A and B are shown apart, each in its own frame.
Chain A
Amino acid sequence: MRISRFGNSSPRVLSLLLGTSMLVSAASLPGRLQAQEVAPITIVINQSPWFEGFRCIVETYEDETGNVVELDVNPFAGSLEKQRNSVRAADGLYDILIMNSGWYSEMYHGGFVTPITDIDPSFELDPAVDSNDDTVYFDAATGSSDPESGKLMSMPIAPLIPLLMYREDLYEEYGLEVPETFEDLLNNAQALHNPPERYGIVQRGARGPHTVAYDFYPYLYGHGGKIFADQNSGDFTVTLNSPKGKQALDYYIQLAAEAGHPNTASLDQAEVIQAMVTGKAGHIMTVIAAWPQMDDPNKSIVVDKVNLTVPPHAPGYPSAPAFGHWLGGISHNVPEERKQAAVEFFKWYQTPESQIKFAECGGVPVSLAAYDSEISNEREFRWMAPMKKGLPLAVNIYTFPEAAEVIAILELELNRAIAGETSTAVALNTMAEQIHEVMQRYGYRTGMLEPLAE
């Protein structure tokens, strides 16, 4: 496997050379490797905490099949730009696009990925594989993620969701119960709040590409709030500024004020994780991909002291972790043999054996087979039980390609509310109004609620 990071001048040539060398090696060492069966493929992917697990599973794939995979590894935003440039060209550079929940819809709507079943009609998603709130399906006629009318567009790669990480050792010391509701969380966070040595909870309130908004979703949806009425049925009425939305934002700010970091409005994900691994946080709600750092003795002083649970919720509503997942799509503008080779990789990737291996490698599996396997009982894999519980509850926040504009609005106004520049009612009304304008501009069926009293 060849890995090119943050720059790639001629991956096709190099992968061909590598492919040739693999063939020569296989021929000269019979039995060690099978002959290469499919064309080499290139996967464009982001550099994130779960990448090492993916690299490991790709190596296993190469070892087992003799097929060649090249990884083009990039920062988050860089990966998106490379994907856009590749799919908009006459000939694509990348065969598999590892797409984030924030931009997979752009790729579907733009016609940039080929449905997997158009390439291989016999392909079926393994029943144990989570469909990530059906985001792997797409009905081009309605623009919805309908598994009945839509086609299978992608393969789940990493089903990332946020989980509540808490200091298990302190819970035992203070005699606390694992929180179920938001009220429990507030009480527990207050009990562990001892600033500046330790904050009860550290939240991610900074304005960024998808920072404070992503942190806020479990609070919003866990209070029964929503951004839109029903995206999948095409109803984009903006419901963010409902009383439930206000409850959620009021709670988020109350949590920060009474048990959180004094500078919540300026903290991003790295600082939140840093607070936990340095022992300065009693709780953090962060994406599961950050988990390996908690038990890494080179990065953490709280090794084996942190445990996880699904995000709390308001009484009467389910826990609602928001998907920040990654899907693998096959580029529309690459040769047919490479599309076939990409499907072969997906077929192998979704098998229970591969998924268990992926977990052992440090990845977050997409198959329930891994979550039900023996390893899930081991202390090292204690994150698997809450993941298994959280995945069916997880919500996909956006199904339309202009989501980045809505996220930008949320990032700004949520940050202002958390910083105390505006009231929660003003922030929610402003966001709703601006989101409504965006949806109107693009011709969606939309509407607005009555503004909240300010």
Chain B
Amino acid sequence: MATSEIRGIDEPAAGVKTGPASANLQDEASWRWLTLSPTVIVFALLTILPLANMLYMSFFNVGWAQGSMVLTPVGLQNYRDIWGDNLFLAGIRNTLIFVVAATSAEMVLGFGLALFCSRITRGRTFYRAVFILPILIPGIVIGAIWKLMYNFDFGIINQLIGIVSIPAQDWLGQYETALLSVIIVDIWHWTPFCFLLLLASIEGLPQDVYEAAKIDGASFWQELFRITLPMMWPAILVTFVFRMIVAFKVFDEVFLLTSGGPGTATEVVSFTIYQRFFTEDRIGFGSALSVVTIFIVLMLLVLTLSARKRRKAGA
């Protein structure tokens, strides 16, 4: 029996003394809290403590002398320095472009592929396997594959465009094409993620609605815009949010393909933090960058979810 049902029936009015049934319920709730609390506490600590530690370190400069750590409190200086860090600012700009472009393209392509797979009757398993293949490949291998494909001298892309007399391009080395080239790799890598989530959603849609629409003579586009998309909206939003957050964390593709170059053309936030925190060993400043980045991701999340709420309220 579901707990909500029991509550609905047995919930006592205010001021009414509770009987044995509600006492049992209270026991049950206490027991539930008691058994769950260790997990909740551990989980909370594992989540909160590292973040709290990072926040704490962001107010210090960390140095080393005679083999020991030397913490120098600097107040908000690390945060003030962020706005003078041109690399980080370029990283924010590029990351936002990257997130919007890559996530939008992956959503559209993933949805198209999911729709295609849900409609065909023959070869569905084959197509599914092919479409999800890129997501199974390790990031380092993807870097190698695309580094070879983009190679100026012997890359397959330049060889193909050479057939139609288009001059070879330095895809990863030109300002005009570098970020776009990395976005294309990300789309290739992550579209299967959107495809899988959206396919699961499409296949879960009630078929009787489609049958009714068919009887009413609805066209494909009418079905798509008036039935499929409205019913899938929650799944689309969840997929979009997941992808957006993961896209914001992009690192491996940039690290492997361009190291943020040429210039700052492909600099992204994660790469800047890697540079500042690990390579330069600026633990305090790197922590401040990380805190600001987490804040930006949370803001994006809040904005997206509030857009959903507004849409719900307007519906």
* Chain A hits for B264, CB < 8 A: 412
Is the Cβ of A333 less than 8 Å from the Cβ of B67? yes
Q: Tell me how far the C-beta of B146 lies from the nearest C-beta in chain A, rounded to whole angstroms.
A: 14
Which of A81, A109, A206 is B278 in contact with, Cβ under 8 Å? A81
Known contacts A84-B281, A266-B172; A110 and B262 CB within 8 A of each other: no
Chain B residue at smallest Cβ distance from A196: B153
Stretch at the interface among A63-71, A150-158, A414-422: A414-422
Is the Cβ of B67 less than 8 Å from the Cβ of A412? no
* Chain A hits for B261, CB < 8 A: 206-208, 265-266, 412, 415
Is residue B163 contacting chain A, with contact meaning CB distance below 8 A?
no
Known contacts A207-B259, A262-B170; A419 and B279 CB within 8 A of each other: no
Tell me the chain A residues, 252-306 only, with Cβ under 8 Å from chain B: 262-263, 265-268, 275, 280
Roughly how many angstroms separate A96 CA and B301 CA in the complex, as a whole number? 47
The 14 sampled A-B contact pairs (Cβ below 8 Å) are A84-B281, A88-B67, A110-B65, A206-B173, A209-B279, A262-B152, A262-B170, A263-B170, A265-B261, A265-B262, A408-B275, A408-B279, A415-B261, A419-B263
Is the Cβ of A111 less than 8 Å from the Cβ of B280? no
* Chain A hits for B175, CB < 8 A: 419, 421
* Chain A hits for B64, CB < 8 A: 88, 106, 109-112
Tell me the chain A residues, 396-424 only, with Cβ under 8 Å from chain B: 402, 404-405, 408, 412, 415-416, 419, 421
Is residue B110 contacting chain A, with contact meaning CB distance below 8 A?
no
Tell me the chain A residues, 115-155 only, with Cβ under 8 Å from chain B: none
Tell me the chain A residues, 309-339 only, with Cβ under 8 Å from chain B: 332-333
* Chain A hits for B284, CB < 8 A: none
Chain A residue at smallest Cβ distance from B150: A266
Q: Tell me how far the C-beta of A26 lies from the nearest C-beta in chain B, rounded to whole angstroms.
A: 36
Q: Tell me how far the C-beta of A5 lies from the nearest C-beta in chain B, rounded to whole angstroms.
A: 15
Roughly how many angstroms separate A88 CA and B261 CA in the complex, as a whole number? 32
* Chain B hits for A332, CB < 8 A: 67
Secondary structure at chain A's binding surface: helix, strand, loop or mixed? loop
Roughly how many angstroms separate A110 CA and B66 CA in the complex, as a whole number? 6
Chain B residue at smallest Cβ distance from A419: B262
* Chain A hits for B275, CB < 8 A: 408
Chain B, 42-84, contact with A by CB distance < 8 Å: what is the 0/1 string?
0000000000000000000000111111000000000000000
Roughly how many angstroms separate A105 CA and B153 CA in the complex, as a whole number? 39
Is residue B260 contacting chain A, with contact meaning CB distance below 8 A?
yes
Roughly how many angstroms separate A114 CA and B82 CA in the complex, as a whole number? 36
Known contacts A207-B261, A263-B170, A266-B172; A77 and B67 CB within 8 A of each other: no
Is the Cβ of A206 less than 8 Å from the Cβ of B67? no
Is residue B269 contacting chain A, with contact meaning CB distance below 8 A?
no
Is residue B102 contacting chain A, with contact meaning CB distance below 8 A?
no
Roughly how many angstroms separate A408 CA and B259 CA in the complex, as a whole number? 11
Count of A-B contacts with CB under 8 A?
88
Output the residue of B68, B69, B172, B262 with the most chain A CB within 10 A: B262
Tell me the chain B residues, 271-295 only, with Cβ under 8 Å from chain A: 275, 278-282
Is residue B92 contacting chain A, with contact meaning CB distance below 8 A?
no
Output the residue of A84, A110, A262 with the most chain B CB within 10 A: A110
Roughly how many angstroms separate A88 CA and B65 CA in the complex, as a whole number? 11
Roughly how many angstroms separate A235 CA and B104 CA in the complex, as a whole number? 53
- B residues within 8 Å of A by Cβ? 64-69, 87, 152-153, 168, 170, 172-175, 258-264, 275, 278-282
Which of B65, B278, B282 is A77 in contact with, Cβ under 8 Å? B278
- A residues within 8 Å of B by Cβ? 77, 81, 84, 87-88, 106, 109-112, 196, 206-209, 211, 262-263, 265-268, 275, 280, 332-333, 402, 404-405, 408, 412, 415-416, 419, 421
Q: Tell me how far the C-beta of A339 lies from the nearest C-beta in chain B, rounded to whole angstroms.
A: 14
Which of A211, A402, A419 is B173 in contact with, Cβ under 8 Å? A419
Which of B66, B87, B152, B278 is A263 in contact with, Cβ under 8 Å? B152
Is the Cβ of A77 less than 8 Å from the Cβ of B152? no
* Chain A hits for B87, CB < 8 A: 408, 412
* Chain B hits for A208, CB < 8 A: 259, 261
* Chain A hits for B168, CB < 8 A: 196
* Chain B hits for A109, CB < 8 A: 64-65
* Chain A hits for B67, CB < 8 A: 87-88, 110-112, 332-333
* Chain B hits for A77, CB < 8 A: 278-279
Leading 3 A-B pairs by shortest Cβ distance: A266-B173, A207-B261, A110-B64
* Chain A hits for B68, CB < 8 A: 111
| Known interface pairs A265-B262, A415-B263; 4 further A-B residue pairs with C-beta atoms within 8 A, sorted by A's residue number | A111-B68, A112-B67, A263-B170, A266-B174
Chain A residue at smallest Cβ distance from B275: A408
* Chain B hits for A81, CB < 8 A: 278
* Chain B hits for A262, CB < 8 A: 152, 170
Chain A residue at smallest Cβ distance from B266: A207
